[in-house]
Amino acid sequence: MTTPQPVNLEQKFGLFAEAWSPKVVGELNGQQVKLAKFRDEFIWHAHEHEDELFLVVRGTMRMSFRDREVLVREGEFLIVPRGVEHCPAAEGEETWVLLLEPASTVNTGTAGGERTVTDLERL
Amino acid sequence: MTTPQPVNLEQKFGLFAEAWSPKVVGELNGQQVKLAKFRDEFIWHAHEHEDELFLVVRGTMRMSFRDREVLVREGEFLIVPRGVEHCPAAEGEETWVLLLEPASTVNTGTAGGERTVTDLERL
């Protein structure tokens, strides 16, 4: 076998600039580890079958739910259960987020639309 | 529903001292997010059916494989595929690690023995 190699988050985040376009940096047990940069606000959506973990690597994420907003700071993670409507945003200029979710997960969930990204790049 | 709440890694790591005793801090898609402190060396083992992700939150982890060793530093993660023998260790005094693996995963894998921890505490 090939010896597993460490993945450096800062190095990988340095390889892309665009916001709201997750990059795949790892796979395990049918889940994917993705990195994304957040700027401004995304769109309201939910995932029918997938729970989603957001770990903030840099900056602060603002996650809106229908009943309230939650701020998630560097070194904190948030798990959004399947079926729960949410709208992610950067609180401040830019936020770096590690996502963990099933490989089947689409960024816009059941909302779809022009901000949907398929065929994610692997870094 | 209850609004999801952020989990602060440093705060959770502050709640326990013992090494090699993973604590569950989150669940999603049949996987668990666990936190563990590493001191010295663990034991050689493999997991038959589970891939395992190690994200280093503080310090440096030394992961031994049968053919070589890999150092994983703060801000880096390593995925150990199922079936691959490995022996985790702290490089230095203490290493803080976030683990992601299926809820079924036992810390000693198929090796078993006295360092096996079951009924993991939830923080």
In a domain, residue B110? The reply is no
Domain count, chain B: 1
In a domain, residue B41? The reply is yes
Residue B3, min C-alpha distance to chain A (Å)? 7
Per-residue confidence (pLDDT) for residue A43, from 0 to 100:
94
pLDDT bin (cut points 50, 70, 90) of residue B1 is: low
In a domain, residue B23? The reply is no
When computed from its CA atoms, the radius of gyration of chain B, rounded to whole angstroms, is 14
The DSSP bridge partners found for residue A52 are A80
Chain B neighbors of A73, CB-CB under 8 A: 6, 8
pLDDT bin (cut points 50, 70, 90) of residue A118 is: confident
Which residue has 């987020």 as its token pair? A97
**What digits encode the pLDDT tens for the residues B90-100?**
999 999 999 99
In a domain, residue A123? The reply is no
In a domain, residue A41? The reply is yes
pLDDT bin (cut points 50, 70, 90) of residue A104 is: confident
**What digits encode the pLDDT tens for the residues A78-88?**
999 999 999 99
pLDDT bin (cut points 50, 70, 90) of residue A37 is: very high
Residues B70, A10: C-beta atoms closer than 8 Å:
no
Q: What tokens appear for B117 in the block?
A: 């921890």
Which residue has 């979710």 as its token pair? A101
Across B56-78, average pLDDT: 97
Sign (positive or negative) of CA dihedral A31, B98, B58, A90: positive
Across the A:B interface, residue pairs with CB atoms under 8 Å apart total: 113
Q: Is the ipTM of this complex over 0.85?
A: yes
Q: Which residues of B touch A (CB under 8 A)?
A: 1, 3-10, 26-29, 31, 33, 50-53, 57, 63, 65, 67-68, 70-73, 75-81, 84, 100-102
Across A43-47, average pLDDT: 95
In a domain, residue B1? The reply is no
Beta strands in A1-123, from DSSP E residues, in sequence order: 7-8, 23-28, 31-38, 52-64, 69-73, 76-80, 87-102
In a domain, residue A119? The reply is no
**What digits encode the pLDDT tens for the residues A4-29?**
999 999 999 999 999 999 999 999 99
B24, pLDDT greater than 80: yes
B71, pLDDT greater than 90: yes
Instruction: Work out the angle at residue A44's Cα, subtended by the Cα atoms of residues A79 and B28, and round it to the nearest 5 degrees.
Output: 20
Q: What is the CATH number of the domain that holds B66?
A: 2.60.120.10
Residues A29, B102: C-beta atoms closer than 8 Å:
yes
- Show the domain range for A46: 25-102
